[in-house]
Amino acid sequence: MKHIQYIKGNADVNGKQMQSEQKKSYANALLIKPVKDQKSILTKTDLLNKIDLSKLKLNIDSVKNIRNEAIEINCEGNNAKNVISAKVTEEFGNKYNVDEAIPKNLKIAIMGAEKKII
């Protein structure tokens, strides 16, 4: 039973938070992809040169290069996400596609169960 609680995230391990609870949820992440093929570093520099994110006064956690020539902007709250997407479409028009990041489905492992049941 302890293993199932640990997987669900309900277990209290020696009074400390589990590592999965400490990580931030990036449900408010934006993916900015170029329409034409270009490297993600070019996308990032183009975005940061034309839009000053610090002047928008939004809670932005990080701006990362990711696969498939895109960048990911992690922000707090839907307001920040809406402001950034509006600013990118205003500045660049159809040069970049702005999408919301879709959280991946988590996998659950059941410990100690017989293979016949699984």
* DSSP class per residue in the chain: -HHHHHHHT---BTTB--HHHHSPP-TTEEEEEESS---HHHHHHHHHHH--TTTTT--EEEEEEETTTEEEEEESSHHHHHHHHHHHHHHHTTSEEEEEPPPPPPP---TT--TTT-
Domain ranges of the chain: 31-100
More confident residue, 79 or 26: 79
- The whole-angstrom separation of Cα 99 and Cα 72 is 10
pLDDT at 102: 77
Q: What share of the chain is helix, strand, coil (3-state, %, to 5)?
A: 30, 20, 45
Q: Is the pLDDT of residue 12 over 80?
A: no
pLDDT at 100: 86
What does the CA dihedral 26, 57, 82, 53 come to, rounded to 10 degrees? -80
Residue located via tokens 């520099």: 45
Of the listed ranges 5-14, 82-91, 96-105, the one predicted with least confidence: 5-14
Confidence class for position 22, pLDDT limits 50, 70, 90: very low
- The whole-angstrom separation of Cα 13 and Cα 68 is 38
Q: Over range 33-54, report the average pLDDT.
A: 87
Q: Over range 74-83, report the average pLDDT.
A: 85
**Each residue's pLDDT tens digit, 102-114:** 777 767 777 777 7
pLDDT at 78: 81
The pTM for the full model equals 0.62
